[in-house]
Amino acid sequence: MLFPKKVKHRKWQVGRMSEEKRSRPDTRGITVSYGSYGLKATTDSRVKSNQIEAARRVISRTMGKVGKTWIRIFPDRPVTHKAAEVPMGKGKGDPDHFVFEVRPGRIIFEVDGVSEDIAREAFRKACAKLPLQGKFVRREDTRV
């Protein structure tokens, strides 16, 4: 699973955003840069590191031994969680897992070296593992 080797701050503030701000299209990481095909997010969500790993595994199994995969997101935001049945107060909980906040338009995965049909099927299966909706894009048509 992906997580940072070292962090400057163990716990981040919650960072609530309004629904309007969260659903705005992303401005960075919106084009297919490395591969021929990409999986572009069409909704916003917080993606956990284990969900990224599950999607990566299903992509690599679908493609077989051919092709190359790029993961374009990295979970560096810590999410804290207090233990069950702990009284209120006594500070914030311990870091539980790491997430990446995906906004619409962000490229999540890229693949190269396989046919379009195989890449499309791999991304369809990977989308089922992620808490967001995505669409298949080619290198030339990456507009939202």
Q: Which residues in the chain land under pLDDT 70?
A: 141-144
45 near 130, Cβ under 8 Å? yes
Domains of the chain: 22-77+96-138 (3.90.1170.10)
pLDDT at 140: 79
* Token digits of residue 43: 């909704």
pLDDT at 46: 94
Angle 135-21-33 from CA coordinates, rounded to 5°:
40
Rounded CA gap, 48 and 114, in Å? 27
pLDDT at 142: 47
pTM: 0.88
> φ, ψ for residue 20 (rounded to 5)?
-65, -45
CA-closest candidate to residue 135, choices 102, 100, 105:
105
